[in-house]
Amino acid sequence: MTNGITSVELRVRYAETDQMGVAYHTHYLVWCEVARTDHLCQLGVSYRSLEDGGLWLAVVDARIRYGASARYDDLVRVRCWVRDLGSRRIVFGYAMDRPADAAHLAIAQTALIALDHSHTVTRLPPAALGKLSVAPDPVRVPF
Residues designated catalytic: 18
In whole angstroms, give the CA distance from residue 11 to residue 14: 9
In whole angstroms, give the CA distance from residue 110 to residue 122: 18
Report the Cα–Cα distance between both ends of the chain, in Å, rounded.
Answer: 24
CB neighbourhood size of 94 (10 A): 26
